[in-house]
Amino acid sequence: MTEELLRIDALHVAFGEREVVRGVDLRIAPGEVVGLVGESGSGKSMSALALMRLLPTGGRISSGAIRFKGQDLMEMPQRAFNALRGSQIGMIFQDPLSALNPAISIGRQMIDMIRAHQPLSHGAAMARAEELLTLVGIPYPKQRLLAYPHELSGGMRQRVMIALAVSCNPSLLIADEPTTALDVTVQAQVMDLLDRIRTEFSIAILFISHNLELVAEISSRVIVMYAGRIVETGEVHDLFAAPRHPYTRQLLRCIPRLDGSHGAMPTIPGLPPRIGALPPGCPFAPRCDRAEAICHNETPPIVWHNRQMAVCHFAKEAVPA
């Protein structure tokens, strides 16, 4: 791989004694889009929040290393980190309504954000804000600058978030479930916008979602997480053609498709394990359709196949999904 933009090694995040992220390695090259997939509670959001120093109260990075453009983010003083966050790393969240200040107009929030990171006059920042709103496809941008978050639809609010996130030309954008709260038609618009932003700004994106099909639309590499660990990773084409972890296969099967099939939907039985109450052996074994006795007793090995990695006793079997 060429020069790395972001490199995370063996990241562990814990709330007290409970580890929610248990050794995550992640590399993102400049301009690359990496998809991070998993169910609620798999640790995908916590990994991203840890990177941004936005962990909820009680959460801390218990061990690991995070390097961004060669700088050690773990050791960086808070002031320097604040300057970097927002200008070099942008983030968009699932719920733009709670990420935007409800009592301040869109324009004011954008101007504050732009001026916090760039030496621009109020007027120049306003012009930039208008330009950004146009870029993300908001009609009547001048009037929208005066609007408050509640006056915009969910899709429009997410566009404002994207405009804010890219306002300082960051080299990395973290998108945490950016379309989960949106309608499918609006989701399509936002995915289209992200794709456009990526080519226009040659920005790297860490795209977090629970929907593998959605992730595959934009990502070149996919990471699948389960119970705080990476269980499979690979180039998106390899992973779709031959998923090597049963969880990835079962996840792919669950996605509602328009293939004309009728009747019961495929599901993954049961629930993800509670953090702090992990079963011995492979944490996915109780829900796995491929599990054998060994899975319930022994921790599965890391198995590499070319550039694809899976953590499973049976990872050598390449079964089409």
CA 41/CA 139 separation, integer angstroms: 37
Task: Determine which residue in the list 1, 103, 264, 293 makes contact with other proteins, applying CB under 8 A.
Answer: 264
Burial of 122 (0-12, 13-18, 19+ CB in 10 A): exposed
Only one of the segments 75-83, 166-174, 209-217, 294-302 lies at the binding site for other proteins (rule: CB under 8 A); that segment is 209-217
The smaller minimum CB distance to other proteins, of residues 147 and 191, is found at: 191
Question: Angle 184-201/154-165 helices, nearest 10 degrees?
Answer: 10
CA 270/CA 48 separation, integer angstroms: 26
Only one of the segments 12-20, 57-65, 79-87, 264-272 lies at the binding site for other proteins (rule: CB under 8 A); that segment is 264-272
Identify residues 182-201 at the interface with other proteins (CB under 8 A).
183-189, 191-192
Phi-psi category of 95—alpha, beta or left, where left has phi over 0 and alpha has psi -120 to 50? Answer: beta
Q: Any contact of residue 154 with other proteins (CB under 8 A)?
A: yes
Identify residues 278-297 at the interface with other proteins (CB under 8 A).
none
The smaller minimum CB distance to other proteins, of residues 91 and 216, is found at: 216
Only one of the segments 10-18, 108-116, 162-170, 254-262 lies at the binding site for other proteins (rule: CB under 8 A); that segment is 254-262
Q: At closest approach, how far in Å is the CB of 180 from other proteins?
A: 8
Where are any strands of DSSP class E within the chain? 6-15, 18-28, 33-37, 59-68, 71-72, 89-92, 172-176, 204-209, 221-226, 229-235, 302-305, 308-311
Task: Determine which residue in the list 254, 278, 286, 296 makes contact with other proteins, applying CB under 8 A.
Answer: 254
- Chain position carrying tokens 């790393």: 89
| β partners of residue 37 | 209, 224
* Interface ranges with other proteins (CB under 8 A): 39-40, 137-139, 153-156, 183-189, 191-192, 210-217, 236-237, 240, 250-251, 254-258, 260-268, 271
